[in-house]
A = this chain, B = another copy of it.
């Protein structure tokens, strides 16, 4: 199992706007080969931002990488540059392989 996370630092006070963006988007993920599930996660608050992370699980890294090369991915991210004022810096991508599972 592969987990793809993108970390977003959201300006304090903009949390509701950020969550609304995600609740209204169409991820186009249903039916993508190897896709297993998606969550938007709200993490700890810092002085100047709240950490969020998108968290998607995939059968393996190859399925995830194939999706990032697809037309479906391009569509899902077409509006990703909007509302830059919500963000402190760029999102940070981290991909994780499962080493142990219980």
Q: A residues within 8 Å of B by Cβ?
A: 1, 3, 19, 22-23, 27, 29-30, 37-44, 51-53, 55, 94-102
Contact = CB atoms under 8 A, between A and B. Distances in A.
Nearest to A100: B40
**Interface secondary structure of A, over-half rule:** strand
A99 B42 contact: yes
A19 B99 contact: yes
Contacts of A19: 99-100
Listed from nearest, the 4 A-B pairs whose CB atoms lie closest are A41-B96, A40-B100, A38-B102, A40-B99
B94 A51 contact: yes
26 contacts: A1-B39, A3-B39, A19-B100, A22-B100, A37-B101, A37-B102, A38-B100, A38-B101, A38-B102, A39-B98, A39-B101, A40-B99, A40-B100, A40-B101, A41-B96, A41-B97, A41-B98, A42-B96, A42-B97, A42-B99, A43-B94, A43-B95, A43-B96, A44-B94, A44-B95, A55-B96
